[in-house]
Amino acid sequence: MAKEIKGIIPPIITPMKEDETINLEELRNQIERQIEGGVHALFAFGTNGEGYILSEQEKYEVLEAMVDQVKGRVPVYAGSGCISTKDTIRVSKEAERLGADILSIITPSFAVASQKELYDHYTEVAKHVNIPIVLYNIPARTGNKLLPETVQKLAKDVDLIMGAKDSSGDWDNLQAYIRLTKELDKDFRVLSGNDSLILKSLQAGGAGGIAGCANVYPKVLSSIYELFQAGKLEEAQKAQDSIASFRAVFKYGNPNTVVKKAVKLLGYPVGDCRRPFNYLSDEGMEELKKVLEENKAAGMQ
């Protein structure tokens, strides 16, 4: 429980070779790049890390390498959520054994779940681990929305549930997560999963963000949090606004694909996203190259 949930936490990309096997050497390089960029934690096999398409064994290999490379310098989060409660328990226990500091557990997906089923799922998983759990809401991808009232109840009833990440993109929902959990006698942390809402959420009482764009611009994203903490709100707003042009490229394809191609264009051998999720149109690639050049000229890192 000593690891604090706060700051900018990149869901680090999973570098891959031409044959789509994992490039652990480059993963270690990206970890160093992120830590040098000032990030406050690292998140293994999140959405930008392609956790949805990695095998269970691959996830363990990634986490083992990450824990070894980080060596306690920042907390390590592991995305251990699966569709079934049974599988989530198994993966969560193994992630804890391998040295994860915090678990990020996405809602079950595909089948529609009631709020009671989601509540029961998380409470049962928490009985089998001993490290903090961050709830993960991304209904556009899973089909299941974790309502603010359910988050509040889980935070109140389960000691290990210490935070929630909201990637709904719905400001009212994120704000409700913050407001309802602030009413509790508990240090519960809410993280923005939408990079454009990081500063806004900090101003409302949030704790930071799990920021996919940090894979491309670790220093810029980290500075949003640091500048806010230092009371430099105007500079923090400039840093927040500076990622808008990059995020605008997401209209051309899957954000995960855009982020990974951007890191590749920066000169790192991270490969493409695993097929079939690796296509970006010629128009999208040209716009991405243009934005990267403009941001490089502006000194963004």
What residues are annotated to the active site? Answer: 136, 165
Cβ of 124: how many Cβ atoms within 10 Å? 13
Phi, psi of 120 (to 5 degrees): -65, -40
Which strand (E) or helix (H) includes residue 55? none
Question: Which residue spans within the chain are E strands per DSSP?
Answer: 7-9, 42-44, 76-79, 102-106, 133-137, 161-166, 189-192, 208-210
* C-alpha–C-alpha distance, residues 159 and 170, integer Å: 27
Q: Specify whether the CB–CB gap between 240 and 228 falls below 8 A.
A: no
* C-alpha–C-alpha distance, residues 284 and 251, integer Å: 8
Instruction: Indicate the SS3 state at residue 279.
Output: coil
Cβ of 250: how many Cβ atoms within 10 Å? 16
Nearest to 135 by CA among 110, 155, 111, 116: 155
Query: What is the rounded (10 degree) CA torsion for 47, 242, 29, 104?
Result: -30
Q: Specify whether the CB–CB gap between 43 and 210 falls below 8 A.
A: yes
Interacting residues of 35 by C-beta distance below 8 A, sequence separation 6+: 42, 70, 73, 74
